[in-house]
Amino acid sequence: MKFLFFGIKYIVNYHIFKKKTPLICGLTVTNECNLHCRHCRVAERGKKSLTFEEMTTALQSFYQQGGRTVYFQGGEPFVWQEGKKTLEDIVVYSRKMGFLTTIIYTNGTIPINTAADTVFVSLDGLGDTHDYLRGKTFDRIVKNISESKHPALYINFTINNYNKNEIQNFCEFINNIDQIRGVFFYFHTPYYGFDDLYIEPEERKEILQRLIKYKKNYKILNSKAGLKSALRNDWKRPLDICQVYEKGEIYTCCRTPRDPNLCKNCGYLSYSEIDQTLKLKPSAILNALKYF
Ligand code: SF4
């Protein structure tokens, strides 16, 4: 309910008073990770972990600017530690500060016990495909999901050339796991060049059309409006109301250099959801209310 009021106020300020209050802040708690996935070079960025003090300072600054949603990412955020402090200390701190939504993005290899409002676990295909892309972890992740009592647990699935043909089977698999509330689909973004994971725009469209159809039968979290915007490739970018904090640096939209060709091929579909929510598309608004 609190988020609903916040959302209405935000939209009024955004549209009528043209205020560009930051909406979502990402804290990169660490660039360290316990996996070496094919698509990811975050661990090579060099900037390692935030201190607890750096996190609280960033959170206070973001809160003062009006932001009320924060997500924690890595690397793998659950590996972060400072003395006896763990990720949970910063989650609890954020909630006490007054953030309305706290979100964790994890690879799911570490047991999922947290007070964060929402948890997104990355699974990029069924067993063999996921293991090919992310290392032999599928069984462990599914076990951690099944044993977690978290009430708002979702899957992030990034579509690429290796897993594009098993989307429907994956959706079937997810439908049978009660603990998972839904799956959110992204596309591989060619951050490091147009590699073997990249899907050409025409094929991406064909996959998006399938996802729109699959929504009827499966727990797909992307809204119809978000998927249609992705189909038209017309969501606003870079999205300057989204900030990402990484040690000593604040980025808008994401942690990559502003390259128009990269942004044109962006697969970060949660931003198409935000864009469509701000454009007051009902299906996007309803979806946002589900996980915020
Ligand atoms: S690639 Fe561009 S549009 Fe996509 S998240 Fe990064 S800055 Fe935003």
Gap from CA of 249 to ligand 1 centroid (Å): 16
* d(CA 186, ligand 1 centre) in Å: 12
* Number of domains present in the structure of the chain: 1
CA of 26: how far to CAs of 50, 104, 107, 268, in Å? 12, 10, 16, 14
CA 274 to mean position of chain CA atoms: 12
Q: In what order do the strands lie in the sheet with 153-159?
A: 182-187, 153-159, 118-122, 101-106, 69-73, 24-28, 242-246, 249-252
Q: Closest ligand 1 atom, CA of 263? A: 2
> What is the 256 CA–ligand 1 centroid distance (Å)?
7
Alpha helices in the chain (DSSP H): 2-15, 52-64, 87-97, 127-134, 138-147, 167-175, 201-214, 224-232, 260-264, 270-278, 282-291
What is the torsion angle, in degrees rounded to the nearest 10, for the CA atoms of residue 171, residue 176, residue 178 and residue 182? Answer: 10
Please tell me the predicted confidence (pLDDT) of residue 48. Answer: 83
Q: Can you tell me the distance from the alpha carbon of 67 to that of 77, in angstroms, rounded to the nearest whole number?
A: 21
Q: Which of 235, 251, 253 to mutate to test the pocket of ligand 1 (most atoms within 8 A of CB)?
A: 253
| pLDDT tens-digit map of 112-129 | 999 999 999 999 999 999
CB atoms within 10 A of CB 44: 7
Is the Cα torsion angle 9, 10, 13, 15 positive or negative in sign? negative
Do 22 and 67 form a contact (C-beta atoms < 8 A)?
yes
Residue 198 structure tokens: 């990249």
Q: Tell which atom from ligand 1 comes closest to the C-alpha of 258.
A: 7
User: Which CATH number goes with the domain that contains 251?
Assistant: 3.20.20.70
**Contacts of residue 84, Cβ cutoff 8 Å, sequence gap at least 6:** none
Which residues contact ligand 1 via a Cβ below 6 A?
189, 237-238, 253-254, 256, 262-263, 266, 268, 271
pLDDT by residue for the chain (292 residues), tens digit each? 777 888 888 888 988 988 989 999 999 999 999 999 999 999 888 878 999 999 999 999 999 999 999 999 999 999 999 999 999 999 999 999 999 999 999 999 999 999 999 999 999 999 999 999 999 999 999 999 999 999 999 999 999 999 999 999 999 999 999 999 999 999 999 999 999 999 999 999 999 999 999 999 999 999 999 999 999 999 999 998 999 999 989 999 999 878 999 999 999 999 999 999 999 999 999 888 876 6
Quote the CA–CA distance of 73 and 280 in Å, as a whole number.
28
Long-range contacts for 13-17 (Cβ within 8 Å, ≥24 apart)? 14/278
Residue 174 near residue 218 (C-beta atoms within 8 A): yes
pLDDT at 291: 67
- Write down the pLDDT at residue 234: 96
As a residue count, the chain comes to: 292
Q: For residue 51, what are the domain limits?
A: 2-291
Question: Helix, strand or coil for residue 119?
Answer: strand
The rounded Å distance from CA 173 to ligand 1 centre is 30
Contacts of the segment 42-51: beta carbons below 8 A, 24+ positions apart: 42/74, 42/75, 43/75, 45/246, 45/255, 47/246, 47/247, 47/248, 47/249, 48/247, 49/80, 49/82, 49/247, 50/80, 50/245, 50/247, 51/82
pLDDT tens for 231-264 read: 999 999 999 899 999 998 999 999 987 899 999 9
Q: Whose CA is nearest to atom 1 of ligand 1?
A: 263
Between the CA of 141 and the centroid of ligand 1 the distance, in Å, is 28
Residue nearest (by alpha carbon) to ligand 1 atom 6: 254
Ligand 1 centroid, distance to 263 Cα (angstroms)? 5
d(CA 163, CA 131): 11
